[in-house]
């Protein structure tokens, strides 16, 4: 076997080994959000909370998730990936038990914050694991497979939540999350090796960490790519956060009807992730991002046209454009994420953290402010989602113009970033 074939075989074996556990770790966040959607009416009735108050169970979780996301990566850069993931899973399990035992909305919100502080560890540190072990097209393939597995979570989570509510009250959802965390601890101990060698670790010091983040935020290229990805996903997350109103109030499908929304949406994301993996090494990164944004644009136009035309929405015309949007996002996401991680090869965990922080802060605002304000009117919801997609595309176009000028400059090849093929 020649060296190229041996390298391909090794990367394929790594992908088969790591993709299931990294994908399952990434599920922790969506499970924490989406499983409780069917329980909103029950929770609201028990705690005397209106729709806006119930929405804070999402925004409080996301805000804590965002704040802690800037710590997960540097912790893993200093202590190792595996140790930090295991600690985060343990805290998440304890927080889930606290949610299950909560007897008031403030208590529930407090433990939701603790869930948020720990839930991001799998997704954020998992991205750094991908770049620890693989590069180039191989990394894109693994990232795409992780996205495919991760994409199952938002589709099955509300179904699991509704099923649990069929035979028990809402605390059963949080007991399920606690058991899921325990299962993931076992999976990490069994299947996930340490990928960040002690010799490559960086001491965890607050001042250098803050300085590194300041440098990232001061890097115009990082900011453009990070916000392009964040605004693009926020357009989809606006619909995810508005799912209780969309499914129960507008489509009138009841608490067991969330699959009608989430299955097509996640189907689009999984097909997009599969297509991204197949495109690796065959279609250039810039071309793939163009295709992805074109799909997002078509989804926006279809959404706006349909909801301007009707006041009585039906299922398929409402959810199919969302599925197309998620397909486009799945094409764009791995390319932008790998470009961001490659900008800071010595601190990929920190770069992943800052990217996640930006996205999550935006999603918290979407869940806590935009969704309660817009979810009563599907045309306004589509208009806001379209504005977010447009902002993402404009930022990417800005980066492409700067990139083109940079390639025309007579600089030495060593001065070019390793992601210039993007």
Domain count, the chain: 1
Does residue 312 lie within any of the structural domains? yes
Select the more confidently predicted residue: 80 or 301: 301
108 pLDDT band, cuts 50/70/90, is very high
- 132 pLDDT higher than 80: no
Question: Is pLDDT above 80 for 42?
Answer: yes
In a domain, 219, yes or no: yes
Residue 2 pLDDT grade (very low, low, confident, very high; cuts 50, 70, 90): low
What average pLDDT does this structure show over 37-62?
A: 83
The pLDDT tens digits of the residues spanning 336-378 come to: 888 887 888 777 777 877 887 888 788 878 877 888 888 888 9
pLDDT over 60 (residue 126)? yes
403 inside domain = yes
Is 307 part of any domain? Answer: yes
pLDDT at residue number 153: 73
Q: What is the CATH number of the domain that holds 185?
A: 1.20.1250.20
Q: What pLDDT is stored for residue 197 in this prediction?
A: 72
Answer yes or no: is pLDDT of 1 > 70.
no
Domain extent at residue 297: 20-415
Section 199-210 average pLDDT = 75
Task: Answer whether residue 1 is part of any domain.
Answer: no
Q: Is residue 408 part of a domain?
A: yes
| pLDDT at res. 410 | 47
- pLDDT the model gives residue 93: 96
pLDDT tens-digit series, residues 141-183: 777 777 666 667 766 888 888 889 888 899 999 999 999 999 9
Predicted confidence at residue 184, as pLDDT, reads 92
pLDDT at 13: 67
> What is the SS3 string spanning the chain?
CCHHHHHHHHHHHHHHHHHHHHHHHHCHHHHHHHCCHHHHHHHHHHHCCCHHHHHHHHHHHHHHHHHHHHHHHHHHHHHCHHHHHHHHHHHHHHHHHHHHHCCCHHHHHHHHHHHHHHHCHHHHHHHHHHHHHCCHHHHHHHHHHHHHHHCHHHHHHHHHHHHHHHHCCCHHHHHHHHHHHHHHHHHHHHHCCCCCCHHHCCCCCHHHHHHHHHHHHCCHHHHHHHHHHHHHHHHHHHHHHCHHHHHHHHCCCCCCCCHHHHHHHHHHHHHHHHHHHHHCCCCCHHHHHHHHHHHHHHHHHHHHHHHHHCCCCCHHHHHHHHHHHHHHHHHHHHHHHHHHHHHCCCCHHHHHHHHHHHHHHHHHHHHHHHHHHHCCCHHHHHHHHHHHHHHHHHHHHHHHHHHHHHHHCCCCHHHCCCCCCC
4 inside domain: no
Say if 10 falls within a structural domain.
Answer: no
């Amino acid at each position: 076997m020649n060296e190229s074939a041996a390298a391909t075989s090794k990367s394929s074996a790594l992908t088969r080994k790591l993709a299931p556990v990294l994908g399952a770790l990434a599920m922790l966040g969506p499970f924490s959000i989406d499983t409780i959607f069917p329980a909103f009416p029950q929770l609201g009735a028990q705690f005397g909370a209106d729709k806006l108050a119930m929405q804070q169970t999402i925004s409080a979780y996301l805000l804590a998730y965002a704040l802690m996301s800037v710590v997960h990566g540097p912790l893993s850069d200093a202590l190792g990936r595996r140790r930090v993931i295991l600690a985060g899973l343990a805290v998440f399990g304890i927080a889930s038990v606290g949610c299950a035992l909560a007897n008031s909305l403030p208590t529930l919100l407090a433990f939701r914050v603790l869930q948020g502080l720990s839930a991001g560890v799998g997704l954020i540190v998992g991205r750094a694991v991908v770049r620890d072990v693989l590069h180039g097209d191989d990394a894109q393939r693994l990232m795409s497979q992780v996205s495919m597995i991760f994409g199952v979570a938002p589709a099955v989570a509300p179904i699991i939540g509704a099923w649990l509510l069929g035979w028990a009250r809402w605390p059963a959802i949080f007991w399920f999350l606690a058991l899921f965390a325990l299962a993931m601890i076992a999976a990490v101990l069994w299947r996930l090796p340490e990928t960040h060698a002690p010799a490559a670790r960086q001491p965890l010091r607050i001042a250098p960490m803050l300085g590194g983040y300041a440098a990232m935020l001061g890097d115009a290229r990082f900011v453009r790519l990070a916000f392009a990805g964040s605004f693009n996903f926020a357009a989809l997350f606006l619909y995810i956060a508005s799912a209780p109103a969309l499914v129960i109030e507008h489509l009138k499908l009841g608490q067991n009807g969330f699959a009608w929304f989430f299955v097509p949406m996640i189907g689009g994301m999984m097909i997009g992730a599969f297509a991204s993996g197949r495109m690796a090494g065959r279609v250039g990164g810039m071309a793939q991002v163009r295709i992805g944004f074109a799909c997002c644009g078509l989804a926006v136009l279809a959404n706006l046209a349909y909801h301007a035309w009707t006041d009585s929405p039906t299922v398929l015309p409402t959810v199919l454009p969302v599925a197309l949007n998620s397909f486009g996002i799945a094409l764009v996401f791995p390319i932008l994420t790998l470009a961001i991680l490659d900008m800071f090869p010595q601190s990929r965990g920190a770069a992943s953290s800052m990217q996640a922080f930006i996205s999550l802060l935006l999603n918290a605002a979407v869940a806590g402010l935009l969704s309660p304000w817009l979810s009563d009117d599907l045309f306004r919801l589509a208009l806001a989602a379209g504005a977010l997609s447009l902002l993402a595309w404009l930022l990417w176009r800005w980066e492409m113009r700067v990139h083109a000028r940079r390639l025309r400059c007579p600089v030495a090849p060593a001065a070019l970033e390793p992601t210039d093929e993007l």
